[in-house]
Structure 1
Amino acid sequence: MRRLEVRELGSAEFEAWDALVADSAQGTVFHSSDWLVENALLLDQTLILLGCYDGEKLIGGCPLYLSRPYHLLHVASSKAVSTPYGGVVISDIGDAKQRTKEMHTRRIIAAILEHITRQGFDYVDLVNAPGLEDIRAFTQQGWNPAVYYTYVLPTHTDLLKTASKDVRQNVRKARRQGISSAGKFDPDVFWNLLVRTFAKQGKEPPVSERHLRGMLGLIKEKGIGEMRVASMPSGEVAAAEVTLWDAKMAHSLFAAASPEHLSTGAATLLCYDNVNSLNEQNHRMLNLMAGNIPHLSAFISGFNPRLVPYYGAEYPRFRYRILKRLKDGMYPDNYAR
């Protein structure tokens, strides 16, 4: 069996990368070259796409965002703002037997990890998509594993039968108040809601206005998602949600709600209508995210989705561990990233 080659892909190879992503069980819209390039540009980070070749054939890969925290550390990560996960993608080998599939996956991941560790990064954080169900190849290479969670909901579900009582009541309450939802792609509206949502919590938005507008522009330009708003009878927007999609499923990306209308059920109605709209557009599954944030999990779980684990792995070197200990000692509630 010949040795696999792992190297950085050039822009001329992005078409082959996107074909691999589309074919891979791990591939998502967050792995697409358009998404990765635009996100890195807006974050002022360096993007590298690692490709794993068997001869002339691209059979796997991993995107990395590079950054320099504190101007001291060299950090590589597969996740970033607007990119909840990325990680490795593995080519599909059809109806092969289990042992063959495992050997194929392990061989590709081992080659990618060997290449990454040779680059001398102080810290590497890979968060893989839910399509990667086995991270033994990481732990066998000495990487530290992590488990995360998301919620996935079939869009053909009759939510008025399967959702929790409070979800059904909030949908009906919103309708009685004349609240309705519709598709409306308006970055100004969303940014205003996002700022107000986080201001109520005493926080800054997790994304800059420039970044939000840039990613919304990409979504609209490429036709890979939509924005939906819930409005009061007066026309005032009470909640908004941005959803994007790939060939496998749709993904909830951003959501915000007016603090003045939290008790109206508008956010619940918006989510309910969004699920039904996606079903009408033949998107059969919706990744609702939110599995790692307790107060959001309490809301999303009311729609009776399936809890799905996904896996990460980190590789810290000595300098990172020392600086992290120093920072944790000075600021116990934070960590060096």
Structure 2
Amino acid sequence: MTEYEVVALNSSEYESWDSLVERSPQGTIFSTSSWLQATGCDFKIYGVYQNKELIAGLPLGVRKLPLGLKSGEHPPLTPYLGILHEPCETKYISQISKEKEIQTILAPMLKDQYDRLRFQVHPSVVDLQSMIWAGYSSSVRYTYILHLDDLAQAWDEMEKRRRNDILRAERDNISVVKSDDFDGFFELVQKTFHRQKLHAGFRKAAFGIHALLKNRKQSQIFIASDGQHRPIAGVYIVWDHRRAYYLLGGYDPAIAHSGASALAIWKAIRFVSEELRLSEFDFEGSMMPAIELFFRKFGGRLTPYYSVSWARPSLDLALHLRAALRRLFRRGG
């Protein structure tokens, strides 16, 4: 096996890391050091060196668990992480062999440093065999990716009812504008969660990410309003040099219109194609049935990607024991 060195990068090495992210076929905005910092969470970036050159790596959010345990996972609002590799110009067999070697080195090292690991790899990653052989589990997830080389064709391939929703919203004087009001947009996000009796617990990360990307001109808010200028729906997209991503959406059920969200997304898609000149729009995860159905109707290609996980066998037992003891002490008090 080739000689590799794995180190946890320090901040002086982040520039080299970000350069690798930009070059790597698996690289996205979500793996950059600035994104990880903007989430407000602790994180580590593990760099893999060969002959003193950074050739691969893995970023991870770090979260402390009870009992002094530690989890390596995704920070909030970060759909893809996983192992990144430099572009490979050698034979396919050489590329796969090198990726397996790097996985073989990282897999036990990560187990030594964490009690639980969970991360989702980029859709272009198809080989996780070395991680599986090392005791990790993998499961498949799905997103929809809309290809925008021909916007007219993208419109034609959209489900007819989705096109009708968009056209009806326009007839009903629903207008969509680009906005800088992240506070107002996030109110729509919170209303969506409240309607489902859920809590939007990622507020800090959302505002940190927006503060970063607003300055870098890598994000945009789209707000759909009715004829009385009342916000009904909102969409928040981010992008890198390859594609745009639907990161957040919100809706006010008190001013309902079935086409408002669809129109806002369509305006965002047009913006990505016509102004950013990017060829892909990633709906970024479609695992909940209702959300999957809504995104499916836009005509994107169903695209699988993998989730990787591992937990120390004693982890669940320790956490369950802790919870049981806490319940016992509460009753005794």
Alignment of 1:102-117 (within 5 A): 102-117=96-111
SS at match of 1:300: helix
Write out per-residue CA displacement over residues 62-86 of structure 1, whole angstroms, 9 at most, x where no aligned residue: 0111112234421111x12111121
Larger displacement relative to structure 2 (199-208 or 12-21)? 199-208
1:151-166 to 2 correspondence within 5 Å?
Answer: 151-155=144-148, 156-158=150-152, 159-166=154-161
Conserved? CA contact 1:46–1:66, under 8 Å: yes
Would you say 1:128 and 2:121 are equivalent positions?
yes
- TM-fit CA distance, 1:28: 0.4
Distance 1:53 1:325, change over 3 A: same
Equivalent residue runs for 1:111-260 within 5 Å: 111-119=105-113, 121-155=114-148, 156-158=150-152, 159-208=154-203, 210-260=204-254
Q: SS of the counterpart of 1:34?
A: helix
The residue type equivalent to 1:36 in the other structure is L
Distance 2:252 2:285 in 1: 19
Could you tell me how far 1:18 is from its partner in structure 2?
A: 0.7
Q: Deviations over 1:5-44 (max 9, x none)?
A: 00011111111101111111111000011001121xx2xx
Structure 1 residue 167, shift from structure 2 partner: 0.3
- Aligned equivalents of 2:167 and 2:321: distance in 1? 52
Instruction: Report Cα offsets for 1:236-255 as digits up to 9, x if no partner.
Output: 11111111111111111111
The answer as to whether partners of 2:141 and 2:285 remain within 8 angstroms in 1 is no
**SS of the counterpart of 1:263?**
coil
2:256 aligns to what SS in structure 1?
Answer: helix
Shift of 1:324: 6.1
Is 1:314 matched up with 2:293?
Answer: no
Which residue matches 1:278? 272
Normalised by the length of structure 1, the TM-score is 0.90
Pairwise CA RMSD: 1.9
Q: How does 1:65-84 map to 2 (within 5 A)?
A: 65-77=61-73, 79-84=74-79
What's the secondary structure of 2:283's corresponding residue? strand
User: What CA deviation, in whole Å up to 9, does each residue of 1:294-326 have, x standing for no partner?
Assistant: 110010000111111111211211221324666
SS at match of 1:309: strand
TM (normalized to structure 2)? 0.91
Structure 1: which 5+ residue stretches go unaligned? 331-337
Tell me, yes or no, if the aligned pair for 2:232 and 2:257 is still in contact at 8 Å.
no
Match in the other structure for 1:334: none
In the comparison of the two structures, how many residue pairs are matched? 322
Q: Secondary structure in 1 aligned to 2:94?
A: helix
Once the two structures are TM-superposed, the CA of residue 225 in structure 1 deviates from its matched residue by 1.6
> In terms of mean alpha carbon deviation, does 218-227 or 278-287 score higher?
218-227
Q: Is the alpha carbon distance of 1:264 and 1:117 closer, same or farther for their aligned partners in structure 2, counting shifts above 3 Å?
A: closer
2:44 match = 48
- Cα-to-partner distance string for 1:134-156 (whole Å, 9 max, x where unaligned): 11121122211111111100123
Q: For residues 324 and 300 of structure 1, do their structure 2 counterparts lie closer, same or farther at Cα, with a shift above 3 Å needed?
A: farther
Gaps of 5+ in 2: 326-333
Distance 1:329 1:157, change over 3 A: farther
Does residue 58 of the first structure (1) align with residue 54 of the second (2)? Answer: yes
Counterpart residue number, 1:35: 35
Counterpart-to-counterpart distance in 1, 2:282 and 2:38: 22
Indicate if the aligned counterparts of 1:90 and 1:108 stay in contact, CA closer than 8 A. Answer: no
Shift of 1:196: 1.3
Percent of residue pairs bearing the same amino acid type: 25
The CA deviation at 1:329 is 10
C-alpha distance in 2 between matches for 1:173 and 1:147:
36
Which of 288, 291, 294 pairs up with 1:299? 294
Does 2:61 align with 1:89? no
Query: Which moved further from structure 2: 175-184 or 150-159?
Result: 150-159
Offset at residue 117 of structure 1 (A): 2.1
Q: What residue identity is the alignment partner of 2:285?
A: A
- Contact persistence 2:79–2:285 (CA under 8 A): no
Q: Distance in 1 between matches of 2:280 and 2:26?
A: 15
2:235 match: secondary structure: strand
Determine helix, strand or coil for the equivalent of 2:78: coil
- The Cα offsets for residues 160-192 of structure 1, whole Å up to 9 and x where unpaired, read as 421112101101110111111121121121121
Secondary structure at the aligned position of 2:102 is classed as helix
* 2: CA distance, partners of 1:236 / 1:148: 36
